[in-house]
Chains A and B, each alone.
Chain A
Amino acid sequence: MSGMSEREAAKYPFLQDAVKLVDALNIQIADLSDPIYVKVLDRAAERITEAIVDGVVEAKLEDYMTELVSYPVASMLVSLKGESYLDRRYSLAEAVRIYLLLQKEDRKYLFQIAQKEFNWDIKETLENYDGQNYTFQLYFSDYLHASDAFHEDKWKLVNRILRNGYVLLQQSEAARLIQGEVENQIRTRVSNHVKFQLPDPIKQRLDLIEKVFDENRTKLGAEDLPTEVIREAFPPCIRYCLEGLLSGKRESHMERFALTSFLVNVGMPLESMVDLYVSVTDFDEAMTRYQIEHIAGLRGNKTRYTPPLCDTLRTHGICRNKDEVCERVKHPLNYYRIKVRRLFPGKQTKAPSQNGENPISEKANQE
């Protein structure tokens, strides 16, 4: 895709040629204070507020240079903000923008992007199943990488036509997978949270983003959990693990991990957990304490573990007795949040917790 037009680059700023175009301008942070970049800074901040408020960044292609340059600037602002919920929200919103544009492109164009930009092992084909045309075949490892953030049943590998290593795709599905790759790419970039001395014009934009972000916190699912543990709000899988433990059943490693990490995250005091485990099993107290502290992030690599995703619990046979709240969530902690809100509609939630380091929780809150 050499000799790319600037308008094309503004549409798809993630393409390698578009990145080269921006690089060639050699814009430094200090330059951004120059009044000629007011439009760029404004548009960058706008991209982020659109992401927060609407969940999708609009494609404003009239002033294509501003549109193009504001893309890396917006990424920088998001990474400066250092808020993992915003990282997710923003990368998804930019990726959706790309998806909507890609829908209007033809099959050749998609094929080219997939091959050149993402190195996909992809082939063209034409087959019909259930009245639908399948126009591409994608090697399953590329497919799994691109669809990683998708949790709908239709994207599960088991529900795809997989033959000789290749997954059949409809054209719109290929566009959606490219969206997935773009999202991964932006997310990797913005989640590298950096801090450095900023010129005033940038600080002002960050303040603005901060304000919009705070106003929309609930929408982002960034609110915290209540301080006391509310057992009635536990999801069925965790209840199953807890009941199993209470009845003295020998639980699998995965069951114990799911339960313990869940209890740690909903704020059960460590002492109560140690008591619970020791009283109903013949576990050694010191060992039990060690393991719980490990999961709580007080030992070892200091990572506080979040419970596994619903998908993971399903793989290991722990997801059971699903109810209608389960249909809405991908993570047991989100079930808990929703259920708490339902049981106590007035309950105030506090500022967001800052343990966004864990990739599991990152994915879990994915919209």
Chain B
Amino acid sequence: MDQDWGSPKYVAEQFAIWYKENSNTIPAPTEIRQREFAFLHFGGKAMFRHISFSDEDAFRHYLMENAPAHSYHSSSYYSKPAADMSNKGWRGADLVFDIDADHFNLPCQKQHDKWKCRTCGKEGVGKPPEVCVCGKATFETETWLCEQCLQAAKNETQKLLDILVQDFGMSFKGDLVVNFSGNRGYHVHVRSLKVRGFDQSSRREVVDYILGTGLKPEYLGFTPKGKGGRSILGDEGWRGRAGKAIYDYVSMSTSEEIKALGLGRTLTQSLVERKEEFLNTLESNHPSFVLSRFAGKYEGRIMTDLGILMEKAVKEQAADVDTVVTTDIHRLIRLPNTLHGKTGWQVQTIRPEHFSDYDPLISAIAFKTGVVKIFVKYSPRFRIGSEWYGPYSEERVEIPKAAAIFLLCKKGGIIVE
């Protein structure tokens, strides 16, 4: 019976019903004729790729007929989207950002994620280690999500949007689209014509900017030559952001934490014994004063140290996007407003003005009516809408369809008569 966990036949039927009712409300991606589409069907292992549609009707018809488990479209534009990769004729690609709580290190993962080594059978919670004690790296993982994961993903997305709007001058009037990914994260698409032609190296520069990778203190005013006057804390862009990051990091660290950073003696001593003075200097003076007041004669060393300190500190201010997704110019990305086969939730376009109040567990729920009886193998506590369910272990329950389909998509249960 093991293969029936998740009752794929039942879920497929439910998806089909949903698509029958809702396909005609799903907008086709912009410039549909230049996009490649790809789908995974229930029970199928291979992805159907290199599909193209001539118009929105054909696209909706496909969704209605096939009710796929997972739907994707290319972030790229092609002259012949249905051709094989080498003959597609790449014409550009949206700039895409993927924020997925899966990639974060969150304390809640220890509560709801599990792994098991397929070689020796060892089990554990949270993320699997790089290598198992048996020397192999063959893990099966079971990942769930909770309020904390979703909130963390939302916070990172908000930081990303702030950087895109304030620093890159992008706007929600056309350039920027935010989607809930249907699982543990968000996708941000930038469709502006000015970024479409970007090659990988330009995209990499943008990602490095978002993550603060390669930031050097000497270009933020921490230079003995600079005599610019004002503090950087009020500046825009990374100058202000990094300045504030260092300020917050130092002010919130204990002496022990600062000592543990492994910085040189001069800066460590300054940060421990003259912390207030250091913070005041950063707050009221140009960063060159940090050098003149705290470097002593070890200017070279303090630059290296400030670099290390900054690298630690900016992690808080940077938005944690997936570097591979953004730099890939042939990426397939989830099709907005379709269903996600691992949750049964809707991948959803969010109106920017509603983002701060957005709650996927209310808005992205697709199956809103009905009650279903299922046998649950295991599930942590979870919320759908405003109701809480579980935790369950080896038990029969009768719950609303939305909760049941979520558990089935997670392969944590099976339909019972």
A residues whose Cβ falls under 8 Å from a Cβ of B: 128-132, 139-141, 144-145, 148, 153-154, 156-166, 244, 247-250, 252-254, 281-282, 300-301, 309, 311-312, 314-317, 363
Q: A156-B214, A249-B137, A282-B136 are in contact. Are A128 and B228 (CB under 8 A)?
A: yes
Give the chain A neighbours of B297 by CB distance below 8 A. Answer: none
Whether A300 contacts B86 by the Cβ 8 Å rule is yes
Give the chain A neighbours of B213 by CB distance below 8 A. Answer: 158, 314-315
Taken together as a complex, chains A and B put the C-alpha atoms of A363 and B286 apart, in Å, by 37
B152 contacts chain A at the CB level, 8 A cutoff: no
Q: A282-B136, A301-B86, A315-B327 are in contact. Are A130 and B208 (CB under 8 A)?
A: no
Q: Which of B176-184, B233-241, B261-269 participates in binding chain A?
A: B233-241
5 A–B contact pairs at CB < 8 A? A130-B228, A157-B208, A159-B216, A250-B139, A253-B324
**Chain A: minimal CB distance from B239 (Å):** 7
Q: A314-B213, A315-B208 are in contact. Are A165 and B170 (CB under 8 A)?
A: yes
The interface size bin for chain B is 35 or more
Give the chain A neighbours of B286 by CB distance below 8 A. Answer: 130
Whether B324 contacts A129 by the Cβ 8 Å rule is no
Whether A144 contacts B226 by the Cβ 8 Å rule is no
- What secondary structure prevails in chain A residues at the interface with B? mixed
Taken together as a complex, chains A and B put the C-alpha atoms of A264 and B294 apart, in Å, by 49
Name the contact of A158 in the complex, choosing from B137, B200, B212 (C-beta under 8 A). Answer: B212
**Chain A: minimal CB distance from B135 (Å):** 6
**Chain B: minimal CB distance from A118 (Å):** 14
B388 contacts chain A at the CB level, 8 A cutoff: no
Whether B215 contacts A166 by the Cβ 8 Å rule is no
Taken together as a complex, chains A and B put the C-alpha atoms of A161 and B219 apart, in Å, by 9
Taken together as a complex, chains A and B put the C-alpha atoms of A34 and B195 apart, in Å, by 48
B342 contacts chain A at the CB level, 8 A cutoff: no
B206 contacts chain A at the CB level, 8 A cutoff: yes
Name the contact of B195 in the complex, choosing from A130, A141, A158, A166 (C-beta under 8 A). Answer: A141
Taken together as a complex, chains A and B put the C-alpha atoms of A144 and B202 apart, in Å, by 6
Taken together as a complex, chains A and B put the C-alpha atoms of A69 and B295 apart, in Å, by 56
Give the chain A neighbours of B288 by CB distance below 8 A. Answer: 130
Give the chain B neighbours of A253 by CB distance below 8 A. Answer: 324
Whether A129 contacts B167 by the Cβ 8 Å rule is no
Q: A163-B236, A253-B324, A315-B323 are in contact. Are A282 and B138 (CB under 8 A)?
A: yes
**Chain A: minimal CB distance from B207 (Å):** 6
Give the chain A neighbours of B208 by CB distance below 8 A. Answer: 156-158, 314-315
Whether B198 contacts A141 by the Cβ 8 Å rule is yes
B205 contacts chain A at the CB level, 8 A cutoff: yes
Whether A130 contacts B205 by the Cβ 8 Å rule is no
Give the chain B neighbours of A160 by CB distance below 8 A. Answer: 219
Name the contact of A314 in the complex, choosing from B195, B202, B214, B238 (C-beta under 8 A). Answer: B214
**Chain A: minimal CB distance from B191 (Å):** 14
- Beyond A165-B168, A166-B169, A315-B204: 6 further Cβ-contacts under 8 Å? A157-B208, A159-B214, A159-B220, A253-B324, A311-B204, A312-B200
B17 contacts chain A at the CB level, 8 A cutoff: no
Name the contact of A164 in the complex, choosing from B130, B166, B202, B211 (C-beta under 8 A). Answer: B166
**Chain A: minimal CB distance from B315 (Å):** 12
Whether A130 contacts B168 by the Cβ 8 Å rule is no
